[in-house]
A and B are shown apart, each in its own frame.
Chain A
Amino acid sequence: MIAIILIIYKYINVIIRQVWPFLLILLWGGGSDRKSTIAMGLAVLGFASMFWAILSYFKFYFFLKNDELVIQKGILKKSNLNIPLDRIQSVNINQNIVHQILNVVQLEVDTAGTKGAEFKFDALSKEKAEALRSILISKKKEISETQVSSHNGDELQVFSEERKPILNLSFAELIKVGLSQNHFRSVGVVMLVFFWIQSSVEDIGIETDKYTKDFFDFLVSASFKAVMTMIVMASIVAVGISLVRTILVYFDAHLWREGSRLKFSHGLFNKKERSAPYQKIQILQWGNNPLQKLLKIFDVRLKQASSSVVTAKSSLRIPGCTDDHISYLKDSWLGDKALEKLIIHGVSIHYFYRRVLWRMVFCALLFAIYYLVGQINGWLIFLVLLVPYFIYTSWLSYKKSGFAINHTTLYITKGMLDDDFALLPLAKVQNVIITQTPYQSRKDLADVGVHTASGSISIPYIPLVLAEQLSDYFLYRVESSRELWM
């Protein structure tokens, strides 16, 4: 029964999202005979598809059989899907606000197959979902363990299955995380929403050009003071938005370890629980911006291999971590041996020259536009400030770019105003690409790109000889060991 309510809710949700401009026309647009016809048509269509959805719910079965998860569905076109349990990559439990009200959860099964190979089971009771998940995972483990032990039994690592908490984000820490977000991103979100609303409103035929034009006229004629006021206001709005967003997404965040996997649950209305088996993590990234540096917290990203393409979804972002959390993650993932003797080498000074050169070209363009359009009050100061800013950030980015390598691990540092670090076990390398721009060719420099199943890492502007030596070593590591990347 609950499932049917959910289906109805989902359908109404989808329909409203897709046809809301039409609905607006219906509510606003001039009354005519056509209006009622459209309304009738929409209603019939809506009910028909809802009926169809409910019908397909009754024809949807799933069960376990011989180490396979079988899904049967379809009313007219029946389909029978068999997913071998050892292909299942991850099982996640999600709960949005409607799920919470109805006290059910959604189970999401991700497989290693090709595109779109994931299944969502809506409206399972929490106990049922958890039982199913543990069955899926334990079965999967059994199968893969028998496979592994037939290779080499003693390499099998045995972890205790008990829950070991790593990070629990309290409300105060959550506020800290929210205040130290990258607020430019929030500004971006606001702009996106603004443009989306604008285009949607334009779709139903309301002129917005006039308002936009007024706004730009204002920008052009505004005095320095007015611009500053606007910036301050925008910053306050941006901080507010980041704070709200952070609280919504990362409320009650817990990171814990369960056997050989990490689990992360978070969310206020949309509760999510996601897992990252150590074996599947390809890259561990962490970093902080100047604000986060003050508060001594980091954003951690666990990049794990996913079904087909690298999506943001398969990378777990864990905010508010401290040094201790990161070193726990590093050690528990790679062991402390993997982190020995990581001596950081810098990159060539030409990296700095080139960055500055391109940014100066950009500045020159801006100056040209400035003088062509006509000098506008108060804007020149921003342009003039841009030059030292670019030089400074390029210098920082040159200073912070570096790499270190030992027997098993590649370690990368980079950043401008922020600091970013990444750890990559060499066994996870999929391929190596050496590239040279014409400038780099003249200076005998090269970039080395290392690609993994979840994103890539690049070492910029190092001597070609060194780039080739590094590639030789990466390839040697991958080709000489039988260590799996997943």
Chain B
Amino acid sequence: MAFSNTQIEITSLPTVSSIDYKGLDKDYLIATLIRKLFTWIIIGVVASVVVQINKSNSDFKEIAGPYINYVIIGLCIIALLNFLFAYLGFFKKGYAVREKDISYKTGLFWKSKTLIPFNRIQHSEVKQGPFERLFGLSSLRVYTAGGSASDLSIYGLKQAEANHLKQFIIAKTSADEEE
């Protein structure tokens, strides 16, 4: 497909494809897996409680009895896939800071790359969930006027790194305004 519409040599521009993404902290992988384990344990407990309560109910036996093993196997498979994809997906996540923009990529199957120029950033925020706190991790969220669907969140940063990055963004955006 021909695309030569501009006087600027498009090939001389810094390219998105050559961005070197920095992977997330290994601790974040462990934190994610533990969080998932927690969720699945809760699901398992709830499911077995439901089964135990209804065990004596004859209607329940009749309707659900033959399928119950399949349901358990199905849930186990989903859980395993969930862990597997979380593990594989981790290595696809990464962020990069360039001179004038910040970007984050994610996605094992459905891939996406978000790019935000510093001079469009409204504000940024460092967040910490309970599991992240255990590992001293934080996430950084960058807001633009483009609406929440297009904001950028970088997960799995060491707390110091997140704060440092936030300071860097503040410096960049305010330097931009002063120019």
CB <8 Å contact, A433 and B114: yes
Residues of B within 8 Å of A441, CB to CB, are: 109, 111
Residues of A within 8 Å of B17, CB to CB, are: 465, 468
Known contacts A407-B6, A436-B110, A463-B1; decide if A471 and B16 are in contact (CB<8 Å): yes
CB <8 Å contact, B10 and A473: yes
Residues of A within 8 Å of B173, CB to CB, are: none
Residues of B within 8 Å of A437, CB to CB, are: 109-110
Closest to A449 in B: B150
The segment out of B28-36, B61-69, B139-147 that lies at the interface is: B139-147
CB <8 Å contact, A469 and B10: yes
Q: Tell me, yes or no, whether A210 is within 8 Å of chain B by CB.
A: no
How many interface residues does A have (CB within 8 Å)?
Answer: 43
Known contacts A406-B6, A430-B144, A433-B150; decide if A475 and B115 are in contact (CB<8 Å): yes
- A356 to chain B minimum Cβ distance, whole angstroms, is 21
The segment out of A74-82, A265-273, A368-376, A477-485 that lies at the interface is: A477-485
Residues of B within 8 Å of A434, CB to CB, are: 16, 112-113, 115
Residues of B within 8 Å of A462, CB to CB, are: 1
Q: Tell me, yes or no, whether B5 is within 8 Å of chain A by CB.
A: yes
- B114 to chain A minimum Cβ distance, whole angstroms, is 5
CB <8 Å contact, A482 and B179: yes
Closest to A310 in B: B147
Residue from the list B5, B120, B146, B152 in contact with A341, Cβ < 8 A = B5
Total cross-chain contacts (CB, 8 A): 116
Q: Tell me, yes or no, whether A405 is within 8 Å of chain B by CB.
A: yes
CB <8 Å contact, B120 and A472: no
CB <8 Å contact, A472 and B14: yes
CB <8 Å contact, B120 and A430: yes
Interface class of chain A by DSSP: mixed
Residues of B within 8 Å of A205, CB to CB, are: none
CB <8 Å contact, B147 and A451: yes
CB <8 Å contact, B113 and A433: yes
Q: Tell me, yes or no, whether A297 is within 8 Å of chain B by CB.
A: no
Q: Tell me, yes or no, whether A466 is within 8 Å of chain B by CB.
A: yes
Known contacts A434-B113, A436-B110, A475-B115; decide if A453 and B145 are in contact (CB<8 Å): yes
CB <8 Å contact, A475 and B146: no
Give Cα A282–Cα B17 distance, bound, in whole angstroms: 28
B94-115 interface bits toward A, Cβ cutoff 8 Å, 1 = contact, 0 = none:
0000001100000101111111
Residues of A within 8 Å of B70, CB to CB, are: none
CB <8 Å contact, B152 and A431: yes
CB <8 Å contact, B149 and A435: no
Known contacts A406-B5, A407-B6, A469-B3; decide if A478 and B15 are in contact (CB<8 Å): no
Residues facing B in A397-424 (CB within 8 A) are: 405-407
- B161 to chain A minimum Cβ distance, whole angstroms, is 22
Give Cα A441–Cα B5 distance, bound, in whole angstroms: 26
Size bin of chain B's contact surface:
35 or more
Q: Tell me, yes or no, whether A380 is within 8 Å of chain B by CB.
A: no
- B144 to chain A minimum Cβ distance, whole angstroms, is 4
Residues of B within 8 Å of A476, CB to CB, are: 8, 13-14
Residues of B within 8 Å of A470, CB to CB, are: 3
CB <8 Å contact, A453 and B117: no
Residues of A within 8 Å of B114, CB to CB, are: 431-433
Q: Tell me, yes or no, whether A90 is within 8 Å of chain B by CB.
A: no
Give Cα A469–Cα B10 distance, bound, in whole angstroms: 7
CB <8 Å contact, A343 and B115: no
CB <8 Å contact, B1 and A345: yes
Q: Tell me, yes or no, whether A456 is within 8 Å of chain B by CB.
A: yes
Closest to B11 in A: A469
Give Cα A436–Cα B148 distance, bound, in whole angstroms: 20
- B24 to chain A minimum Cβ distance, whole angstroms, is 19
Known contacts A451-B150, A453-B146, A466-B1; decide if A478 and B16 are in contact (CB<8 Å): no
Closest to B7 in A: A407
Residues of B within 8 Å of A456, CB to CB, are: 146-147, 149-150
Give Cα A476–Cα B115 distance, bound, in whole angstroms: 12
Q: Tell me, yes or no, whether A452 is within 8 Å of chain B by CB.
A: yes
Residues of B within 8 Å of A405, CB to CB, are: 5
Residues of A within 8 Å of B3, CB to CB, are: 345, 466, 469-470
A447-467 interface bits toward B, Cβ cutoff 8 Å, 1 = contact, 0 = none:
001011101100000110110
CB <8 Å contact, A451 and B146: yes
Q: Tell me, yes or no, whether A438 is within 8 Å of chain B by CB.
A: yes
Other than the known A438-B109, A438-B110, A453-B147, what 10 A-B pairs have Cβ atoms closer than 8 Å?
A430-B146, A431-B152, A433-B113, A435-B107, A436-B107, A436-B112, A452-B146, A472-B10, A475-B100, A478-B120
10 closest cross-chain pairs (CB), A and B: A430-B146, A451-B146, A451-B150, A453-B145, A479-B100, A431-B116, A435-B112, A430-B144, A436-B111, A434-B113
| A-B CB contact pairs (8 Å), 5 listed | A430-B146, A441-B109, A451-B146, A476-B13, A482-B179
Interface of A with B (CB < 8 Å)? 305, 309-310, 341, 343, 345, 405-407, 429-438, 441, 449, 451-453, 455-456, 462-463, 465-466, 468-473, 475-476, 478-479, 482, 485-486
